[in-house]
Amino acid sequence: MASGTGRRDSGGVPALEPHPDRLLPPDPTTRAVARELYESVAALPILSPHGHVEASLLLADEPFRDPASLLITPDHYVKRLLHAHGIGLERLGVGVDDPTEAESREIWRVLCSHWPLFRGTPVAYWFESELADIFGVTQRPSEQSADALYDQVAGCLERPEFRPRALFERFAIEVLATTDDPVDDLAPHAALAADPGFTGRVLPTFRPDRYLEPGQPGWRAAVDALGSAAGVDAGTRSGLVDALERRRAWFVAHGGTSADHSHVDLGSEPLSEVEADRIHRAAYAGRASADETTAYRRHLLFEMARMSTQDGLVMTLHPGIRRNHHRPTLERFGPDQGHDLPLAMEYTDALRPILERFGVHPDLHLVLFTVDETVFSREIAPLAGFYPSVYVGAPWWFLDAPDAIRRWRSAVTETVGFGKLSGFVDDTRAFCSIPARHDMARRLDAGHLAQLVVEHRLADDEAHETIRELVESPRRVFKL
């Protein structure tokens, strides 16, 4: 996807030459318009309102250890496809805290020798862009080039311009949002904010899922820890609500602008205080039924919306994922190993309690994401097309790929236009993939707008204004 001519070097290894017009439309007239649009925003700063890079990485600013732990092991996109072809996660460094140089090199060889598996995927686009644009690699990953590529990237990582803060500046990241547990003290965020030598903004994101799920193992212990962090007794329903409100305030005080939620559905029906109190007591004692814990989780999600109208935290929802689908992998390696899988979703009725109560509240921003493509035009865009509080989240996870993004654009903009879109969300743990992912989004935006221009559905000046607004939209939607 990212390669150019298919040229080979003197050793017969295919060259890595990302084409300057990659992802732009093939029609020459449309491509010329798209190229001009893309070039107008290519160098704009990156606003990353949702991701999983940790603030401690930038605070410590230590050299990255090796190419494999930087580019392979933290990227579940890479791991899951290799695993699907029979390569065990242990061969990719999962579960290895401090791999030796030989182990890291072998992980790298595994990826390179299986590189054809990634043809046609966004992983190939991102990875090749990272290798070429960041590390100056000119050979395509392969069994033959593996050791040379490893040595080249490892050599770069020894230099000061490849430390985390230097790359943060080189990537032109203006804002980077992390994902954080409500009990976190956020000390790395505070230290970065106070450091005169660091000019970027690294914002915490409130992620309370585990405290809203009384049906999950360990809920009582988690609630007790939340209460301890907040300085209240969370053993009661009112205490839990108080603890959540206090910790949200802590995040706001440390620059947080959003609260992130991911449950298996979007049910948000509130309970009466009497019923909520009763279920909380039963769940805290370990006696609540599955139906009761589900009802209480939906009640607490409604409470999260109420809190957002009061403290202003943007409420992002990305539901419909069956977490840790393969229990043996979870038990051996822990979560986030590539086997969180999509479910079919319903939004319109599920969110009605929140939207009837708060849908026109001026302080609520509700950003809806999905991995179920069927709901983009059927539910999410129509909801955003009426409720001032609702925004259409960019394609996320399994859908943050070129063709899926193109389908999304066609599915939603005719209903809701461009002004109710979230802007691109990279949602990554792989730090070096951030610029490649945002660059991909800008190229696809340029192609979509260029098509509208050549069809005389959009004036050239409107297209230029719109593509800049799309890059800037996270600033407005996520209150950055």
* Percent of the residues in the chain that have a pLDDT greater than 90, as a whole number: 88
Q: Is residue 140 within 8 Å of 148, Cβ to Cβ?
A: no
Q: How far is CA 284 from the centre of its chain?
A: 32
Q: Which tokens sit at 391?
A: 């925004």
Round to whole Å and give the CA distance between 146 and 15. Answer: 13
Grade residue 336 by pLDDT with cuts at 50, 70 and 90: confident
Q: Where are the domains of the chain?
A: 171-477
List pLDDT tens digits, range 401-441. 999 999 999 999 999 999 999 999 999 999 999 999 999 99
Q: In this predicted model, which residue has the larger pLDDT, 335 or 246?
A: 246
pLDDT tens readout for residues 233-268: 999 999 999 999 999 999 999 999 999 999 999 999
> Could you tell me the pTM of the whole model?
0.94
CATH no., domain 171-477: 3.20.20.140
- At residue 135, the pLDDT reads 98
DSSP 401: S
116-158: per-residue pLDDT in tens? Answer: 999 999 999 999 999 999 999 999 999 999 999 999 999 999 9
pLDDT digits (tens, 9 = 90+) for 58-115: 999 999 999 999 999 888 889 899 999 999 988 888 888 888 999 999 999 999 999 9
Distance of CA 417 to the CA centre of its chain: 23
Q: What is the pLDDT of residue 96?
A: 82
367 close to 315: Cβ distance less than 8 angstroms: yes
Whole-number pLDDT of residue 1: 41
Is a pLDDT exceeding 60 seen at residue 4? no
Q: Do 449 and 465 form a contact (C-beta atoms < 8 A)?
A: no
Mean per-residue pLDDT of the chain: 95
Distance in angstroms (rounded) separating the CA atoms of residues 252 and 245: 11
If phi > 0 it is left, if psi is from -120 to 50 it is alpha, else beta; for residue 258 that is beta
**pLDDT surpassing 70 at residue 357:** yes
| The pLDDT of residue 352 | 98
- What is the CB neighbour count within 10 angstroms for residue 292? 19
pLDDT level of residue 228 (50, 70, 90 thresholds): very high
Helix (H) or strand (E) holding 428: none
Q: Residue 354: is its pLDDT beyond 90?
A: yes
Which residues share a beta bridge with 314?
A: 258
Residue type, 137: V
How buried is 315 (Cβ within 10 angstroms: 0-12 exposed, 13-18 middle, 19+ buried)? buried
What does the pLDDT read at residue 176?
98
Least Cα distance to 3 among 175, 192, 148, 137 occurs for 137
Cα 160 from chain centroid (whole Å):
28
- Alpha-carbon span 138 to 366, nearest angstrom: 43
CA distance 434 to 168: 10
